């Protein structure tokens, strides 16, 4: 039967199915455009796009399976063997006097160049392995604060207990590591009788030390409110109660400021007895 004798059985049904699928696709695309133009709603936009692509895929699939001609089609391929003249030219190129295989010096240099490139490519891979440094997670969770490290001011001078004022806070850093971004802390003198929660790092005569980095986004909590013994982050207004273990009582921060355990060494200077009680900085550390 020729194609002029009329549609084959099932072609009309397939055409209707394809038409419905393409119409559905067009409606989905129009729905997406409408939702987007009227302000957008992520779930509806995604649903409309899913309907549009599903209709398009279904229509094309039925079209290819039901309406396109099928059957066995054979295309003759030219012989795989090259003619003798071409094989002769290939032999001359590979084995003749001008063949690259006869230039041993150049091949050696090529091997050297490729070997050097391969060796150089190993160095970026080496940087991913902890040969001469700690693992990244460990490095991010720890700071240079450790037992025996003195508290110093920004100019590097050690801090004595009497240097901590009663009406404001004093920024402090670990001796020898003042330029690290995760080490800033502050010391403040409080009345131990007002503590409702013991300081996580303890206190020395009412002096407590906490990380200066907000646990929301890492901004410095640089505003001290003496009357209420609270620290305020000026970036997003997180508020930490120093009388209750520096717990957040307002703002987006959800984690207390990490405390720093301190003591007084034999020379009379404030000294850390360990690292912060928790990783300093943004609150992603609280995620499990």
pTM > 0.85: no
Topology classification of domain 140-288: Rieske Iron-sulfur Protein (2.102.10)
Angle between helices 42-66 and 11-37 (to 10 degrees): 160
Token digits for 285?
A: 């550390």
Three-state secondary-structure class, residue 1: coil
Rounded Cα–Cα distance for residues 236 and 254 (Å): 12
Domain boundaries, the chain: 7-66, 140-288
pLDDT exceeds cutoff 90 at 29: yes
- Condensed to tens digits (0 to 9), the pLDDT of residues 197-251 reads 999 999 999 999 999 999 999 999 989 999 999 999 999 999 999 999 999 999 9
pLDDT of 1: 43
- Condensed to tens digits (0 to 9), the pLDDT of residues 177-202 reads 988 888 999 999 999 999 999 999 99
Q: Contact 204/172 with Cβ under 8 angstroms?
A: no
pLDDT exceeds cutoff 90 at 287: no
Is 216 an active-site residue?
yes
Burial 66-80 (b: 16+ CB within 10 A, else e): beeeeeeeeeeeeee
Interacting residues of 44 by C-beta distance below 8 A, sequence separation 6+? 31, 35
The catalytically annotated residue of 88, 133, 138, 236 is 236
Is 177 an active-site residue?
no
């Amino acid at each position: 039967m020729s194609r002029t004798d009329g549609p084959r059985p099932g072609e009309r049904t397939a055409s209707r199915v394809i038409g419905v699928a393409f119409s559905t696709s067009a409606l989905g695309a129009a729905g997406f455009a409408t939702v987007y133009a009227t302000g957008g709603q992520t779930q509806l936009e995604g649903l409309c796009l899913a309907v549009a692509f599903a209709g398009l895929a279904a229509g094309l699939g039925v079209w290819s399976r039901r309406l396109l001609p099928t059957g066995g089609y054979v295309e003759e391929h030219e012989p795989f063997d090259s003619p003798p003249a071409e094989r002769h030219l290939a032999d001359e190129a590979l084995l003749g006097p001008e063949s690259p295989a006869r230039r041993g010096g150049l091949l050696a240099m090529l091997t050297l160049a490729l070997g050097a490139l391969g060796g150089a490519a190993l160095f970026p891979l080496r940087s991913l392995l902890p040969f001469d440094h700690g693992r990244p997670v460990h490095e991010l969770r720890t700071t240079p604060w450790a037992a025996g490290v003195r508290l110093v001011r920004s100019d590097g001078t050690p801090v004595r207990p009497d240097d901590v004022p009663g009406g404001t806070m004093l920024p402090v850093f670990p001796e020898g590591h003042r330029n690290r971004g995760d080490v800033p802390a502050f010391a403040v003198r409080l009345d131990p009788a007002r503590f409702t929660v013991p300081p996580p790092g303890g206190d020395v005569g009412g002096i407590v030390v906490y990380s200066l980095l907000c646990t929301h986004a890492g901004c410095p909590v640089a505003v001290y409110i003496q009357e209420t013994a609270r620290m305020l982050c000026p970036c997003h207004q997180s508020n930490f109660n120093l009388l209750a273990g520096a717990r957040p009582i307002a703002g987006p921060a959800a984690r207390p400021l990490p405390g720093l355990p301190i003591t007084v060494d034999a020379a009379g200077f404030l000294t850390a007895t360990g690292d912060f009680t928790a990783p300093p900085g943004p609150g992603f550390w609280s995620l499990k």
